[in-house]
Structure formats: structure tokens, C-alpha cells
Structure 1
Amino acid sequence: MAPQQTGSRKRKAPAVDVGAASSSSQGSAAADGEGPPQPRKRRPEACRSLVHYLRGREVGARGPAGLPGFEGQLRGYAVRKLPELLAERELTLGTLNKVFASQWLNARQVVCGTKCNTLFVVDVQSSQITRIPLMRDRGPGLARAQPGCGIHAIELNPSKTLLATGGENPNSLAIYQLPTLDPLCLGDRHGHKDWIFAIAWISDTVVVSGSRDGTVALWQIDPDMVNGSIAWHNDAGLPVYGHICPRALETIPRASTNPNNRKVRDLAFSGKNDELGAVSLDGFFHLWKAGGSTLIRQMSFRLPQCRENVCLTYCDEPSLYAIGSQSHLSFLDLRQGLQNIRPLCSREGGTDVRSLSFYQHIVTLGTGDGCLLFYDIRAQKFLEERASASPGPPPGPVTRKLKLTCGRGWLSHDDLWMNYFGGIEEFPNAVYTHCYNWPEMKLFVAGGPLPSGLHGHYAGLWS
């Protein structure tokens, strides 16, 4: 049955330049076998130039086949050295409240979601903001925007042709087309009954969402929608989008110690193993086999650190799940059994882990007190900065953990701030989201004040 369509009273969002650079694969390998020897082609001079190679890496081009080892070493060196070279430039976002989610769209644009239920694209060079209209649920009796919830997740599919996030109703899953950010479809009915906290794509047309209601939903995007076989505008010129139902809806097991706290806080997909991991607020880790359009539960078990497990990422090369909690960064290796959980204390003055990302062998942590830390999985330690113990030549290098501290951001001086927080001028901004643009060597960092009642935000470009 074709998906039912509805019209939005909001006009189509302005097209946003979201073109992503694509790499082209060049060259072919000769097959081994009998036959007359083939003449050896001479490699162009430019391909042997290191300067040409590095410039090609900057624009996303693939290096020549003869440099795979060098490419890996170059990437690894850049990943280790980049954090200590980053410098901050704060961005102005007006009076928006707490940025919860972000993703790079291209070299200069980042799409963000906020606690005040605003979806927008910010140009990191000019600080110009373009707001994206949110999709509405079908039917007059369904819930609208709820205060104090907001957009908690934004994810792009592998080919960067679709974007998944929340709708005007935070219980609904909204799918937009890229690069135009036209509304495509909305998963509203028969889906989640509470706010969506996490989203993960498991293929270009299959996406999973996790909710506070303790459910994980799998959604299949109709290829006919993506190919544009549906008329997207009605006679009045208003945007029209389809409505979809989940293909599967899984309820996570209830913990006997806390049956009412099964809120799914984050999801991470392993393409290597076709597995979907999830952490819930009751301190459990859950694993599903994600094959095709089904979810098959594999296991659920309690984590050693069960307080505020709010972020999760999957590290491809070592096949580890990294979990951020109130006071620890933990690594989970399911190949070695359930007991192989390695907690690392990341607490510094009462901070907690609020966001995680992984690239190469470096895990980046965003903390509740406005700092960024970097953990090297291979070396099994946090990256360190070198500082001299005295103004003169030191007898030996003094090392300390590399920590980038975010700026002040913006804080609303409202009645709540004055009555409940005594007019304190500065609060550290929790790093609720961060995302890298590695070809451009940039890091977007955003968040806001940690106390739930305070209205404010932080956004910065580190480059």
C-alpha cells in the first residue's frame, strides 16, 4: 500500500548547500595467470609527488595504490597530533537553548538540533543560521511539540542522501532528503510513545530509533520515495510528505531492580558484525542482530558502571563498544566474553561523559564541565600535552592529560537563573555533541549549561 501523504502548513525550507565531496576510484589490478607479459604502464610523474598526494588527501581524493601503508601512517599521525593544534572560535546562535545533536553536511555547514525543538543549519564561516521546518504528525489529536524535550539525535545515512532526526512531536522520526533538506517521510503512528533519544542507520534505507519508552524501532524507507516517484508539493505549493510505520518494534527487557527505567539513551551499529548495540538508563547493555529488516535480540546484561550511561559509540578497528557514563569511559569487547569490560576513570572534579565519537584509534570525549578529552585505544591512555615545569630549560618533560576547554557561550539571565542559581555569571557548558570534519581538519563542538532549568548554549569551531 502506498504511504499516505499529508500537507504541512509550513512552506518548503530554503535549499541548503549540502553537497558532499565524493571520491573516485582509479586504477585496476592485474590478475595472476598464464599468458603473454603485458607492457608495464608508466605511472604519471604527478602521482609520485608527495605534495600532490597530500593535496589530493585534502580534497578527498584517493591516494595511489602504492601508498596504502604511508596513507595509514599519515592518518594515524594526523589523528594523534590534531587535538593539540586545535584553536577555538565561538559561534553565535542567538537565543537558542542547548544544542543536543549535530552533523557536518559539507565543508562549512553543520545541521543541529536543540532543546527548544529547533532544527537548523549553521554556516561555520559566517555564523548564518537557516532554520528547517519540522514535520507534523498526521491527525489533529496527536501530540505536538512538548516543552523541555527537543531534538536529541541527528544522523546521516551512509551515502549522505538522507537525514534522520526528530519531528515537531519528539516521539516521531523525521526523514529529510539531502542536499535540499526537503521533507521525505515521518514515522509517527504505531511508533514510539515517548521521546526519541538515539538514531542509527544500518543501511542506506533502513534506520533504527531508540526511545525513552524502552523500545527500539526499525524503519524501512521506501525506495520509490527516495527516487522521487511521489509528487512532493500540492496545488498550494506546500511541502507534502509520506507517513510510515515501523517494520519492527522491540521492547528491551525489564530490569528487575528498576523496571520503570528502561529508557534507551544511545545506539551504535557495527557494520562489520551486523550488530546493533544500545545502552539504557537502568545500566544495561543490549545487543541485536540487525539483518535486513529485522532485529533479533542476542543478549542483555548489566554494566559495572550503571549511573548515567548516556552515550555509546562503536570502534571499528579493535571491534570495541565505548560507553560513557557519569564518571567513566568503559570499553566492551564482546569477542572476549561479557566479563571483559574495561572501565577507565575519566572523572575530574565531578565531570561526566556526555558525548563520544571514534575515528581511527582515538576516542573523543565531551564532558559535562565543558572539556574535550582524547583516549588512544592502541596506547591505552589519554593523549597528553607537554608542558615545562619551570620557565627555564626543564630537566625533563612534564606530561599531563590533554584537555581542551570550551568558552563561556551564552546564558539567559532570566528569573529562573536569578531565583534558583543566585545570578551566578558563569556555568560550564556540557559538551552534548561534537563532530569531526576530517578532510578539513575541523571539529564542531556544541552544548549548553548542564542544569536542566538554565537556558543557554555553546557552539564553537575548533580548527
Structure 2
Amino acid sequence: MGRNMGEEWVLRPSSWTGAVGARGRAGSRLRGRAARLRGAEAARAAAERELALGTLNKVFASQWLNARRGVRHQVQHALRGGRAVGPDHALIPGSDRGPGPARASPIFGIHAIQLNPSKTLLATGGENPNSLAVYQLPTLDPVCLGDRHGHKDWIFAIAWMSDTVAVSGSRDGTVALWRMDPDVFSGSIAWHNDAGLPVYAHIRPRDVEAIPRASTNPGNRKVRALAFSGKNQELGAVSLDGYFHLWKARSTLSRLLSIRLPYCRENVCLTYCDELSLFAVGSQSHVSFLDPRQRQQNIRPLCSREGGTGVRSLSFYQHIITVGTGQGSLLFYDIRAQKFLEERASASPPSSPGLAGRKLKLTCGRGWLNHDDLWVNYFGGIGEFPNALYTHCYNWPEMKLFVAGGPLPSGLHGNYAGLWS
């Protein structure tokens, strides 16, 4: 495929023309996992345990630190860590605070959190959501703060390219490349004796690149999601003006192409599958699949079929993609079979032809909703309001799934978090 700098494509839905599948032992393992998911027995065994988060508002991102511990982010500024198997939480110090009087600032919220490949560093937003905060693992001590010549608006997405290089995407329409000096986190953390706070470095980005302005919507270049291809050393970015952008990621960022997405409303999540060399973008009503090396896309978009509330979170495991919706449900789509995973009647042999059951769906619990004046006056005091699933992440060794979110309308205050196993 010829790729000129700044090349612009338009992606249109097309029919399926071929099969995509896993090969060898990896494919066999996945088929075994998928078979367990398909059965009605497995669906019943997928038990949910809700986690109490108090009055926190909307969890937007989460990561597993290890088999028993996770971190997640919510709209109020607090990065909380705790055992994913229990309701206890431990507050991690905000990295924007330093010695002296506390800086008064409005609470805007944090929308991204990512671990580096070796799980030695954690990148997220700072108390100022325009800043990139990096913590050392497993102690969660602040290491550095990217707050100099960086973003001018909230950070919505983060992707690691290596253990020491990260890229952030912002509502200001830019992507920034950050390099962590190994000397910064190789030694022990120093502490201020007078204030009892850790000392951390202030860093600036090595490169900042702007998302190109689209003629159709030039004022809405907000970067909502990033995904990195380690195999190709390329970075995918999705902007709210309805475009997918591909960057070559080395010591700097070089834009390779921009693709107009077939569904342009609320493209807010993005994931990448190394095995299939495939990006997946979630929009208000569909998941679109992109292979940047093919002008004609051969995998048709799938419809979330959840009342137009949107795809809010995505993840790949080989050829199975998990879809978190705005209606509080998780769906599972098999790209190779071009269909959602289905339940089967427990009394029917798995090999019986024509006995395909209902679409396999995990419906999450009620969570917590603040019954304030806005809820009463604008939403009529609706007793139950579905939670948008803004984030989910798997712990494959123990077959556990952490899911979290909150009410979809921006004015409603609430949260949901649950552990499925």
C-alpha cells in the first residue's frame, strides 16, 4: 500500500469478502474459551459482584495491576487503587500537589489510565486534567508530571509505545509524545521532610502534533481514544470530527493518513488487535473495523443494537471483541464467524444443528445514582437508570472481568463498578 504523508482516505462500509481467524495453538485456546462463553452454563456461572464506590461520579478507565489488584479512574479527581476482589480502596496521592498551600482548582475529572508494558509505570491525568502524571509501580509513588508546554485541555487518552515512551491525546486536538528518563525512576523516591510529600520531576513533551482540521467539522478535533500497534510501531487516534488518524511512532510522530469513518457520531473508543492487524472504533451505533494497509475494508461494521446509546468501551482478545454499551450491557462478537456469541439451551447438545440461542449478554447491576434536584426535575425521578459501561478490563489468568461506568447523561451523578467471574 502506498502511504504518503498526510494522505487522506474515506472509509465506507463494505460487505464481508473473506474469513479472519486465529491459527494454531492460539486459535485452539481461544476456541476453548469462546466455547465456555457460548454455553448457557457459562453464562449462568458468570456471576457479578458489585463494588461500592460511595458517592464517586462515573468511572472512565481501569487497569489490572496484577491478578488481585486493580486501579480505576472516575470523574472526580481521585486515583484509587485497591484489591479488585474487595470493596476496600486506598487513596493515591495526587501528583499535582507540592509543598506549601494547596492549589485551589476546579475538579474536572480524569479520563485515561494506562500501564506500561512491563507494569512498572502507570500514566494517568494529574489533578490538572491537562497534565500527564506518571506513577511508579507497585508503590504508586509519583515519578514525574508532564505539565510544561504540553496540552491546553483535558487528556482523554494515553498509550504506551515502550516502557519509557508514552503518547497522550487531548481535547485540544493534539497528540503529545513523552519520554521518561530512566534516571528519574531508577533510584529511590525522595520526600519533602517538611510536608511529607514525594518529590517528582516536571517534564515536557518531545513532540506535539495537531490533528488535521476536517472541512466537514473543523472545530471538533478532540482526540478521544488512542491505540498502539507494537508490531508496526504505529499509533491510531480517533477524533470527534469523525476521523481515524494513523501516525508512525518513533522518536517523533509522523502522520501517515487520515480516514473518514463510516459512522461519525460519538466515536469515543478505539482498540487494536496485533494478531489481526486490525483497529476497531466504537461509535453511537456501530463498531467499525479498519486495516490501514487495505484501501477496501473487508470486514463490515457491526451494529451494537442497544437503542442508539452508543459503544462506550472495546477490547480485543484475538478474534473476540468485547463491547461495553451505554445501556449497561456487555456483548461479545466473533469476527471470524461474523456474529455475536450466543447462549445455548442447556438441555440441547452443543452439536445439534439449528439450535442457536439468544445473543450472549451480561447485564450489569444498578450501581449508585444521586437522587438530586436535577434527577427529579429533568429526568422525572426515574427509579432505575442504566449505566454506560465506560471501561472494562480482563484478568485472563483468573478469568475475571472488571467493568465500570455510570449514568450516560452528563448531568446525572452516579457510578457503577462490578467484578464478573
Shared fold (TM-score, shorter chain, > 0.5): yes
Q: Distance in 2 between matches of 1:94 and 1:308?
A: 29
Residue type at the aligned position of 1:73:
S
2:57 maps to 1:81: no
- Residues 417, 423 of structure 1: 8 Å contact kept: yes
2:96 maps to 1:96: no
In structure 2, the gaps of 5 or more residues are: 1-22
- Residues 369, 429 of structure 1: 8 Å contact kept: yes
Residue type at the aligned position of 1:217:
A
Distance 1:396 1:306, change over 3 A: closer
* Partner secondary structure for residue 127 of structure 2: coil
- Residues 368, 430 of structure 1: 8 Å contact kept: yes
Q: Which residue of 1 aligns with 2:8?
A: none
- Residues 119, 137 of structure 2: 8 Å contact kept: yes
Residue type at the aligned position of 2:365:
G
2:110 maps to 1:151: yes
Residue type at the aligned position of 2:276:
P
Q: Which residue of 1 aligns with 2:96?
A: 136
Distance 1:188 1:79, change over 3 A: farther
Q: Which residue of 2 aligns with 1:54?
A: none
2:327 maps to 1:369: yes
Residue type at the aligned position of 2:177:
L
Taking the TM superposition and a 5 Å limit, the aligned residue runs for 1:38-49 are: none
Tell me by how many angstroms 1:397 deviates. Answer: 1.9
Tell me by how many angstroms 1:146 deviates. Answer: 3.4
Q: Which residue of 1 aligns with 2:121?
A: 162
Q: Distance in 2 between matches of 1:188 and 1:243?
A: 7
**Normalization by structure 1: what TM-score?**
0.80
Q: Distance in 1 between matches of 2:138 and 2:151?
A: 27
- Residues 202, 208 of structure 1: 8 Å contact kept: yes
- Residues 386, 399 of structure 1: 8 Å contact kept: yes
Q: Which residue of 2 aligns with 1:20?
A: none
Q: Which residue of 1 aligns with 2:383?
A: 425
Taking the TM superposition and a 5 Å limit, the aligned residue runs for 1:183-194 are: 183-194=142-153
Q: 1:220 aligns with which of 174, 179, 185?
A: 179
Residue type at the aligned position of 1:233:
W
2:374 maps to 1:416: yes
Q: Distance in 1 between matches of 2:89 and 2:109?
A: 18
Q: Distance in 2 between matches of 1:78 and 1:102?
A: 23
Q: Distance in 2 between matches of 1:355 and 1:86?
A: 19
* Partner secondary structure for residue 36 of structure 2: helix
Residue type at the aligned position of 2:29:
L
Taking the TM superposition and a 5 Å limit, the aligned residue runs for 1:17-416 are: 70=25, 72-82=27-37, 84=43, 85-136=45-96, 145-147=105-107, 149-228=108-187, 232-236=190-194, 237-291=196-250, 293-337=251-295, 339-340=297-298, 342-387=300-345, 397-416=355-374
Distance 1:227 1:303, change over 3 A: same
* Partner secondary structure for residue 232 of structure 1: coil
Residue type at the aligned position of 1:162:
L
- Residues 311, 324 of structure 1: 8 Å contact kept: yes
Q: Distance in 1 between matches of 2:270 and 2:200?
A: 31
What's the CA shift string for 1:255-300, capped at 9, x where partnerless?
A: 1121110000000000011000000000001000012x21111011
Q: Which one is further off, 379-388 or 338-347?
A: 338-347
Residue type at the aligned position of 1:402:
L
Distance 1:338 1:219, change over 3 A: farther
* Partner secondary structure for residue 28 of structure 2: helix
Residue type at the aligned position of 2:305:
R
Tell me by how many angstroms 1:335 deviates. Answer: 2.1
Residue type at the aligned position of 1:458:
Y
Distance 1:415 1:188, change over 3 A: same
Q: Distance in 1 between matches of 2:254 and 2:130?
A: 23
Q: Distance in 1 between matches of 2:236 and 2:286?
A: 18
Q: Distance in 2 between matches of 1:70 and 1:339?
A: 27
Q: Distance in 2 between matches of 1:220 and 1:170?
A: 19
Residue type at the aligned position of 1:185:
C
Structure number with greater CO (CA < 8 Å, separation at least 6) is 2
Percent identity over the alignment is 73
Q: Distance in 1 between matches of 2:272 and 2:418?
A: 25
Q: Distance in 1 between matches of 2:344 and 2:117?
A: 38
Distance 1:139 1:328, change over 3 A: farther
- Residues 176, 209 of structure 2: 8 Å contact kept: yes
Q: Which one is further off, 420-429 or 365-374?
A: 420-429
Tell me by how many angstroms 1:76 deviates. Answer: 3.5
Q: Distance in 1 between matches of 2:228 and 2:35?
A: 25
Structure exhibiting the larger radius of gyration computed from Cα positions: 1
Residue type at the aligned position of 1:216:
V
Distance 1:196 1:309, change over 3 A: same
- Residues 285, 303 of structure 1: 8 Å contact kept: yes
Q: Distance in 1 between matches of 2:220 and 2:296?
A: 22
Residue type at the aligned position of 2:114:
E
- Residues 137, 144 of structure 1: 8 Å contact kept: no
* Partner secondary structure for residue 358 of structure 2: strand
**Normalization by structure 2: what TM-score?**
0.87
Tell me by how many angstroms 1:416 deviates. Answer: 1.5
Distance 1:401 1:241, change over 3 A: same
